[in-house]
Structure 1
Amino acid sequence: MMNKNIRKVAVLGSGVMGSRIACHFANIGVEVLLLDIVPRELLPAEEAKGLTLESKIVRDRIVNSSLETALKTNPSPIYSKSFVKRIKTGNFDDNLKDIAHVDWIIEVVVERLDVKQSVFERVEQFRKPGTLITSNTSGIPIHLMTEGRSEDFKDHFCGTHFFNPPRYLPLLEVIPTPHTKPEVVDFILHFGDKMLGKSVVLCKDTPAFIGNRIGVYSMLAVTHLVEPLGLTVEEVDKYTGPAMGHPKSATFRTADVVGLDTLVNVANGLAQNAPEDEAKGVFELPPFIIKMVENKWLGEKTKKGFYEKVKADDGSSEILSLNLKTLEFGSQQKVKSATLEATKPVEDIRKRMKVYEQGTDKAAELFRAMHYPLFEYVSRRVPEITDDFFRIDDAMRAGFGWELGPFEVWDVLGVRETLAKIKAEEKRLPGQDGEVASWVHEMLEAGCESFYKIENGVRQYYDIATKSYKAIPGTEDLIVLDHIRESKTIWKNTGVSIIDLGDGIINCEFHTKMNTIGGDVIQGLNKAIDLAEKEYRGLVVSNDGKNFSAGANIGMIFMMAVEQDFDELNMAVRAFQNTSMRLRYSSIPVVVAPFQMTLGGGCEFSMHADFVQAHAETYMGLVELGVGVIPGGGGTKEFTLRASEEFKEDQIVQNTLKDKFLTIGQAKVSTSAYEAYELGYLQKDKFAITMNRARLLADAKAKALELADEGYVQPAPRNDIKVLGNQGLGIVYVGASSMREGNYISDYDRKISEKLGWVMCGGNLSSPTEVSEQYLLDLERKTFLELCAERKTLERIQFMLTKGKPLRN
C-alpha cells in the first residue's frame, strides 16, 4: 500500500454534501480548504454596505454561507465547535492555486459531467503530481470524468461517494476507473475505514453504483406493490420500518427526507442507463409519484410530500398523510397488524424475520412481495455491479440503515427453502420472472447451504469463483461478539455474558433492554472483575447493542420507592456505587468502550474505568435530574473529585465547582466523544477515540493488553478530595434561586439542585475540608434516597417510564 499522510484536503464545492464532507475531515484532525464559485451579482445588503463584486467578503459569500448553514443543522456535522477552525474557505478564482499544497482533492460540484470536466481541467493547472483526486458523484460514470486528463491525474483518480449526512451514515463507496492505480484504491479503502470510520465498499463503475442501485430498486418496488396489495402510506411505513429491521423513516418518510426529486432523478437515470437490467420496469414511476412531482410535492424541502405538517388554530400541529388514490391529505389512520404484534416481543432481528415471513395478513404479504423479488434482483446483479455479493449487504446496512442486508435475510429464511417461494410469488414486479442467478444454484449444488458461515469466530462468505468459503477481507482483526458468544462465553446470567476475547482479556457484555443496569448487570460486572482478578490480565466492558447503556433500570427504582422499601433501595444503590468503585480499584486494568447513548449509570461506569476507548459517536451524560434524583452510582462523587483536582490557589475555586455542578444540574449530554471530554465526562490521557464502530472492541482489547503489559498497579482510594462546604453552598443556592426567578427551572428543580450542591460541597461544613470518596458516596446515596421518597420524583420517574420523556413538575 502507498505510504501517504493526509494532512490537508481540498473540497471543491460547498453545497449540502461538500460542506459536510469538509466538516467530517475536520472531525478527524485534517486541515481543510473548502472552495466554491464567486457570486455573479451583489445582494441588496451588500450593495447597501458599499461592497463590490471584488470585495473579499462578497467573493467568498457562497462558500461561507454554505458552511454556516451546515454548522447550524441539527444533528451537527462537526464533533466540536472548536474543530471549525480547521476549515479555511475561499473561491475557485482566487484560491484554486492553493490546492498545490494539499494531499487529496475531493470534487463535490453540481451533478453535471460538463461542469465536473471543466473543474478538473482547472485543477490540472495547480495539482501537484501524486495528489489523490476523487469525485463525490452519486450517478455519473466515473471513467467519463477523466477524458482529456494527464496520466498522473488518471492514475490517482477514482470515485468516492459519501452518503448524506457523511458524519452519520457510514457508507463510503469507492469506484476505481480502469486507470486507477491499485495502491491508490487500497489506500483509500484503508483510510476510509480506519481514519474516517466508514464502511467502505468497493464498487464497479455501473449506474448508481451499489447502494443507490439496490436501495432505489427496493423503495420503488414498494411503490409498485401499493395498488395490488391495497396499501396506505401509513401501512407501508409501519410495515417497512424497525419491525423489518429498517430505519424508523421506513419508505415514504425516507422519500420525503431525501426529496422526491432526488429519488426520481436516480430512478430516471437507472431506467435510461441500465438497459440490460431485467427489472428496469421497476424504475419507471407509478402514476401517483409522477403526479406528486408535477404538483411539486417533493417532501420536506417543499413542506409537502407523502406527509404534510399542518398547524391548527389553537397552535397545535398535526402530520397528515397522503391518500395515494385520491391524492388528498388527511388525518393518519392507526395501523393494526397481527404479524407486527407477533414480531414485537422478538428482539433478535434474525428470528423476527422468520416470524414476519410466516404471517398471514397484509404486512406479511408485503414482506414476501418485497423480499422474494429482491433476492432474485440482487443475485442477478452479481457480477454486474460487484464480484462479491457481501458488498451489497455492506452497502445496504451502511447506506440505508438496514440491520440485515438482502443476502443475510435470505440466509435467515433459508436459501434452498426460499427458491420455490421466489418462483411462486404472485405479486410479480415488472420484468422479473422468479429466476435467481445460476451461481446460487451452483452454490447449493456444491453443498454450500448458506451465503455466510462463522468458523472459529471469523465470518466467512461463499466465494463464487472458487465455490468455497473465504474470510471477508478487512474483517480478520475485528472482534464481533455475535461470532464468538456461543463458543467463548465463560459465565452468564439474564443481563450479562462474560466472553473470553483471548490473550488474557475478557469482556463483560450487557444485553438487557436498552442495556439498562439492574441487579443482573451489577452481579455480572462484579463476577467479571472476580474472574479477571483470579485468572485473566484485564477486563473490557462493551457490547454489540444499538446503545452502550441507557442507565439504571428506573422501573426497578420506581417499584422499590413506591413500596417504600428503602432498606432494599439503599442496598441496591450501595451495590451500584461499590461496583463503580471496583471498576476503578480492582487489581486488573478495566477499559470501558462506550458508544451511542451512554447515560446515567453507563456514564458513571465509564467515568470510573482505568481507560475509556470511546466510539466517536458517543452521547454521554449524567441525566438523573430529569427523573428527579441526583447521580447515585458514584457520578456526583466523581464530579466533586474532578472539581477538586482542578482547584487552583490563584483562582476563584467556586467557578470550577459551578461548571461541574451545571453539567449535572442541566443534564448535559455530549453530542460526540470529543464533546464528552469538553464536558468533563472523559479525562485527558484516560481516553482514546475509535472512528469505526466495528473496530471499537478490538481497540479496547488492545488498550487493556497495553495497560497490563506496562505493569498495571492497583490505585488506592482517595482521601484528599477538597470540598468547599458552606463557602460553596452560597454560590449553589444563589445560582438555583436566580435560575428559578428567571423561570428556567421549576420549584422542584431548585430543590433537587440544592441537594446536588449540598453533596458536591461536602454537606454542612464550616470551611473547605479534605474528605474521602466514601464520605462523598454516603452523602450521595443518602440524598438519592431522600429524593426517591418525594412524590414529585415518583411522578417524574412514572412519566419517563410511560411517556419516554422528562416531566418538569
Structure 2
Amino acid sequence: MKRLIKKVAVIGSGIMGSGIACHFANIGVEVLLLDIVPNQLTDAEAKKGLTLENKAVRNRLVNDNLAAALKSNPSPIYDKKFANRISTGNTTDDLAKIKDVDWIIEVVVERLDIKKAVYEQIEKYRKPGTLITSNTSGIPIHFMSEGRSQDFQEHFCGTHFFNPVRYLKLFEIIPGPKTKPEVLEFLNEYGEKFLGKTSVVAKDTPAFIGNRIGIYGIMSLFHLVKEMGLTIEEVDKLTGPVIGRPKSATFRTVDVVGLDTLVHVANGLYDNCPNDEAHDLFKLPAFVQFLLDNKWLGSKTKQGFYKKVDKDILSFDLETLEYRPAKKASFQTLELTKTIDKVVDRFKVLVKGKDKAGEFYRKSFAGLFAYVSNRVPEITDDLYKIDDAMKAGFGWEHGPFQIWDAIGVEKALEFMNELGEKPAAWVQEMLASGNKSFYTVKDGATYYYDLTTKTQKKIPGQDAFIILNNIRESKKVWGNSDVTLHDIGDGILNLEFHSKMNSIGGGVISGINKAIDIAEQKYNGLVIGNQGANFSVGANLAMIFMMAVEQEYDELNFSIKAFQDTMMRVRYSGIPVIAAPHGMTLGGGCELTLHADKAVAAAETYIGLVEFGVGVIPGGGGSKEMALRAADLFKKNDVKLNILQEYFLTVGTAKVATSAYEAIDLGFLQKGKDIIVVNKDRQIAEAKKHALIMAEAGYTQPIRRKDVEVLGKQALGAFLVGTDGMMAGKYISEHDRKIANKLAYVMAGGDLSEPTLVSEQYLLDLEREAFLSLCTERKTLERIQFMLTKGKPLRN
C-alpha cells in the first residue's frame, strides 16, 4: 500500500514537540500541534476578565510554546512563513481532529502512565491504519502499547528525534512487539528521503542506540577527568574539533543540553542496565551531584560547568567546587596534529602521544571501543548503526568503529589489553577470519563486518547516494593540490574542492576551467560539489591581502579578472554546470552558485555575499549578477528602483541566508529553477540527476547577455542619498559609505543619464574597477588583516 504523509498531529508542544512540528512544516507537511488546557489563569488573563473557557486561554500553552520555539536561535524553521503550515489547539477541544491526519506523534512528558492515558484518548479518534509513534528517549516501547487494539499496536513504534530537530540528523526507529515490518520500512525511507535524517532502526533497549553510547561516553569522561586530574577546559580541548567533534566538546555540550537532562538518562541506564559491564560508570560523580543540588544545570540556569560573569567566562573547578577564571589548555600531542588536515588521519598520532593527552586518548578510546563492541548485538545487530547514530545524533565526524579502524584494529587491541579493557569476543573472531577492519570499500560502496555471516556485507541504502570518499581514487579523472575531478557515472563529472575551508584560489580557478575543458570534450555535464563541512567560504583572502599590501595591482587585476572569467565560463560553457552548495557558501562560493546553470542546494545552506565585511564589494561577478537578477524582475509599470534597492541592500548589508529557502527570498537562489534537498547525503546524486536531465534534453550553450537594464543616475542618486543619511545617523562609518557608494555605482550601471541596456561584461568591468580601487584603501587592508588574524569583521 502506498502511504502519503499530508498531515501530521504532534501531541505535546514543549521544546521537542514544537521542534518536530516546525521540521514537518519545513518539508511542506500540514501540522496540527496540540497541548493540554491550562488549569488556571495568568495574572494578565485575570486582569482582562478572561475565563478558562476562553479559546485563547485554552490554547495558551501550545501557542506560547510554539512562539518561543520560533523566536529561538538557531531557528527551528527554514523560513518564518512556513510556520503558517502549523495550526494549534488543545487535547480537550481538538483531539477529534486527529481523525484527518496520516501520522500522530506523541511527545508528552516522560511518564508511562501519562503516555498510556494519552493513547487511550487517541484511540477514540484515530482512524485505522494511521501511524502512531512516540518520541520517548528511554521508556521501553513494548510497555507503551499494552492494552491497545491490534491495529494500534501494528502501526505503533518509537520515532526518536534528537534536539534541535532541524539540525541533528539522527532519527531512531524502535519497533514494538507487533509493529508491522512495512511500517518500519516506510518510516526508515521517509526519515531519509523527506525529513533529511539518518534513519537507524534500533532495538527496544534502554536509551536505544544514540543515548546509550553517547551518555556512556560523557559519563566515562566524568570519571576519567577526576582519575587523571584534568580540568574541564583540558577535556573540552581534547574532545572538540581536533577529533571531529563539535566545538562545544564535552562540558559545554552538557551545559547546552542541560545537566538535568543528562542525569535523567544516566540514572535510567543505571537503574535499567544492571548487567552492563560499565554499570558503575553511570553512577553520578560527586561533582555532578554538587551541581545538581545547587541547581547549576547549565545554560538554562545561567551557570553549570561554565559561568559567564560580564564578559568573562569562569570555569567550574572539579577539586574546589568553585568557579575560577578559565584557563587555556595546551598539549604537545595536539601540536603534532596541526599540520594534519583530515581528522581521520589524526587518531594514530593522538594515541601515540607521550604526554597526558596521549594517555587520555588511549584510556578514553580503549573504554569506548570495548563498550561499543559489547553492545553488538545487544542494542543493534549491525555495527555501522552505532557509527551512524553517533555521527547523526551527537555531531561526531567519525563513529567509534571508524575511529578504531583509523587507529588499526590490532593496534588498538594492544593498548586496550594493557589498560584491562575487554572487547567482545567477536572482534577476535573477525580478525581470525581474515577481516582486519570493520569497514572496507569496494566498487564505490562501503561494506561492514556482519557478525551473523562473518563476512563483509554491503551497507544498505547506498544506491541513493554518491559517496565521494569511496570513489576519490578509483574514479579520479584529473586533479591538482586544491581539487579532484571524479567520474560519477552516466557521462557526468564532479569537481571537489579540498583547499583549506574550500576557499577559492588559483588552484581552484584553474581546476574549474580544466574540469569544464574535459567535460566539454568527453562528457555530458559537470557537478561542482563536495561532502565537507562547507561548500566554500569564498576567495583566498590571504592571497588578495598579500598582493594589495605589496601594491601588485596589475597582478591583482589579473587574478580578479581570472575569477570573473571563470564564473562566466561556468555560466556559458558548452555543458550544463550544476553547483551543489551546502553549509557556509560565502563570497566566491556564493558567486559560483549564482553563475551555475542550476543549483541543487542542501536545505542547510548559509549563503551570502559577505565581502563588505572585509572592505570590498563582490568582485567575482556577484555585484554584476545581483544587478542582473534585479533587472530580470523588472516588469512594465513596476517601480524598478524598489526592486534594485532590495538587491543592493542585500549585498550592502552582507546578508547571509540561514537556509536555502531564505536564500530564495534574498535572490541567491531562484524559485522554479534551483532545487533544494533536505538530506545532504543525497545532494551529489540529485545534482548528477539534474545535470543528466539538462544534457539529455539537448543542452545548448547560452548566448552572453547584452540586455541587462541598468537605471543609471536615477538609482545612483537615490542610493547615494541613502548612504549619506545612514552615515549622518551614525549607522555606518565613513568607510562603509565609501564601499556602499562603489557598490551603488556598479549596480546602477554607472552615472548613465537614463535607463540603458548594457552587457554583462560592462558590469563586470565596473565591478572589477571598484574592487581594485577599494584594495588601495588603508581601511580595507585593516579589515582584511583583522579578518585573517581574528576571524571576525572589523568596523573602522
Instruction: Provide the TM-score with structure 1 as the length reference.
Output: 0.98
Q: Secondary structure at the match of 1:591?
A: strand
Q: Deviations over 1:416-450 (max 9, x none)?
A: 2222311111xxxxxxx522111111111111110
Matched residue, 2:57: 58
- 1:537 and 2:524 are equivalent in the alignment: yes
In structure 1, the residue matched to 2:542 is: 555
Q: Aligned AA for 1:51?
A: L
User: Which AA in structure 2 matches 1:133?
Assistant: I
- Provide Cα deviations, 1:643-679, integer angstroms capped at 9, x if missing partner: 1111122121110110010000000000000000110
Match of 1:670 among 643, 647, 657: 657
Q: How does 1:123-202 map to 2 (within 5 A)?
A: 123-202=122-201
> What is the aligned partner in structure 2 of residue 415 from structure 1?
409
Taking the aligned partners of 2:721 and 2:81, their CA distance within structure 1 comes to 31
Give, in angstroms, the shift of residue 558 of structure 1: 0.5
In the aligned structure 2, how far is the partner of 1:69 from the partner of 1:393?
33
What secondary structure is seen at the aligned counterpart in 2 of 1:717?
coil
Equivalents in 2 of 1:684, 1:260: separation in Å? Answer: 43
Unaligned residue ranges in structure 2 (runs of 5+): none
1:421-432 alignment to 2 at 5 Å?
A: 421-425=415-419
Alpha-carbon deviation of 1:745? Answer: 1.0
> Within 5 Å, which residues of 2 pair with 1:443-454?
443-454=430-441
Counterpart in the other structure of 2:567: 580
Equivalent position SS for 1:783: helix
Q: Which residue of 2 aligns with 1:430?
A: none
Q: Partner residue of 2:18? A: 19
Counterpart of 1:379 in structure 2 is: 373
Q: How far apart, CA to CA, are the structure 1 residues paired with 2:250 and 2:474?
A: 38
Residue aligning to 2:271: 272
Q: Percent identity?
A: 62
Please give the residue correspondences for 1:186-335 in structure 2 after superposition, counting only pairs within 5 Å: 186-311=185-310, 317-335=311-329
| Match in the other structure for 1:32 | 31
Secondary structure in 2 aligned to 1:730? helix
Offset of 1:477 from its aligned partner? 2.9
For residues 760 and 302 of structure 1, the distance between their equivalents in structure 2, rounded to whole angstroms, comes to 49
Residues in 2 aligned to 1:668 and 1:418: alpha-carbon distance in whole angstroms:
48
Deviations 1:326-382 (A, max 9, x none): 101000112120011111221111211111111011111111110101111111111
Match of 1:401 in 2: 395
Aligned to 1:362: 356
Let me know the Cα RMSD of the aligned residues.
0.8
Post-superposition offset of 1:228: 2.0
Deviations 1:93-135 (A, max 9, x none): 1100000000000000001000100000000000000000000
Matched residue, 1:480? 467
Matches of 2:226 and 2:708 in 1, distance apart? 70
Helix, strand or coil at the partner of 2:336: helix
- Write the distance in 1 (CA, Å) between the matches of 2:418 and 2:96: 62
Q: How many residues align?
A: 796
Whole-angstrom distance in 1 between the partners of 2:500 and 2:114: 51
SS at match of 2:94: helix
Task: Write the distance in 1 (CA, Å) between the matches of 2:484 and 2:735.
Answer: 40
Cα deviation, residue 684, structure 1: 2.2
Residue of structure 2 aligned with 1:770, choices 718, 742, 757:
757
Matched, 1:652 2:639: yes
CA distance in 2, matches of 1:723, 1:687: 25
Structure 2 counterpart SS, 1:93: coil
Q: Secondary structure at the match of 2:314?
A: strand
**Runs of 4+ more than 4 Å apart:** none
Note the alpha carbon deviations across 1:181-203, whole angstroms, 9 max, x for none.
Answer: 00000000000000000011110
AA at the equivalent of 1:468: T
C-alpha distance in structure 2 between counterparts of 1:570 and 1:235, whole Å: 46
Question: 2:8 is matched with which residue?
Answer: 9
1:495-526 CA distance string (max 9 Å, x none): 11111111100011110111100010000000
Aligned to 2:261, the other structure's residue is in SS state helix
What residue number does 2:595 align with? 608
Match of 2:86 in 1: 87
1:672-692 C-alpha deviation (Å, 9 max, x unpaired): 000001100011222111111
Q: Partners in 2 of 1:139 and 1:244 — Cα distance?
A: 28
Summarize deviations over 1:297-332 as a string: whole Å, max 9, x none: 111111111111112xxxxx1110011011010001
Distance in structure 1 (CA, Å) of the matches to 2:635 and 2:674: 24
Structure 2: which amino acid aligns with 1:570? N
Q: Which moved more, 1:332-341 or 1:115-124?
A: 332-341
**d(CA) in 2 for partners of 1:611 and 1:646?**
18
1:429 equivalent in structure 2: none
Q: CA deviation at 1:753?
A: 0.6
Q: Which amino acid aligns with 1:716?
A: I
Q: Output the CA distance in 2 between the equivalents of 1:202 and 1:744.
A: 53
Measure, in 2, the Cα distance between the counterparts of 1:419 and 1:508: 39
Identify the residue that residue 709 of structure 1 maps to in structure 2: 696
1:336 corresponds, among 330, 338, 355, to 330
Shift of 1:489: 1.1
Q: Residue 347 in 1 paired to residue 341 in 2?
A: yes
